[in-house]
Amino acid sequence: MKLFGVIGKPVMHSLSPVMMNAAFRAQGVDAVYLPFQVEPGDLVDALQGLRAIGAVGINVTIPHKLGVYQWVSARTEEARRAGAVNVVRFTPTGAVGHNTDVGGWWASVAPFLGEGSLRAAILGAGGSVQAILTALAGERPGSEVLVCCRRPEQAEALAARYGEWLSVRHVHWPDRHEAIARADLVVQCTPIGMWPHGDESPVEAPDCFQAHQVVQDIVYRPLHTVFLRQAEARGAKVVDGASMLIWQGVKAYEWWLEREAPVEVMQRAVYEALEREEASGHA
């Protein structure tokens, strides 16, 4: 039996085991996918141990994406551009680091976007934003990205990193509504509105949303955040955060196994799990 898993802290809430084990069952793959909670100080020991016991691959989540990036013996182009690793394939001589957050995010929004460069407004400047900017740099170079965050130096660092392909500008947090109103694509990348604070939203004036926009919240607990409900009420096309989780998982599965993933099975596993959580009051 092949061993796969996800490392992080916290990690026991992860939906990746539900999604990946459903995919293995659907395709008759003799494999299991398990969550491993790993303290930052134990990261190298955990990685070496997983490799030693014959693990095939792992996903990597907070707070280990940079540490794993530094540890792996080789990196794909997507990982190098994003500056982070969220998926690893162990080899007899080391480990290869990859980043499926980049392609996973793009797959989640691309069907709803028109052609050509975009004007995007991003709320927040954390790790997920690098994956989004990496995708935009590759798929829609020349796009304007307004990064709405409280610390200007974070946006300035992103502008320096991606300035060759994108026009990245800082927007002060109090001015975020004006930035949203000017955008074609809006992505919410802060933890605001995440369970157990599901009654919160980073938007205080919902009339900033426009009917032509594509609006995504990468929070998926709860699945239907206040932020998305605000945008949908204004006629925007909304994309939930679970879609990014699913598509990065699809791309990880295909990278590990070199076969087409059962996308519908993986989608159903994640959405049914989230619906059960919401029904029980835990999301």
Whether 156 contacts 168, CB under 8 Å: no
- Which phi and psi angles does 157 have, rounded to 5°? -65, -40
CA–CA separation, 173 vs 270, rounded Å?
32
Any catalytic annotation for residue 2? no
Instruction: Provide Rg for the chain, Cα atoms.
Output: 19
Instruction: Kindly report the length of the chain.
Output: 283
Whether 226 contacts 252, CB under 8 Å: no
Whether 155 contacts 169, CB under 8 Å: yes
SS (H, E, C) 68-104: HHHHCCEECHHHHHHCCCCEEEEECCEEEEECHHHHH
179 is written with which tokens? 């930035």
5 is written with which tokens? 């898993």
Annotated catalytic residue: which of 2, 65, 237, 251?
65
Partners of 59 in beta bridges: 6, 87
CA–CA separation, 131 vs 185, rounded Å?
15
Active site residues: 65
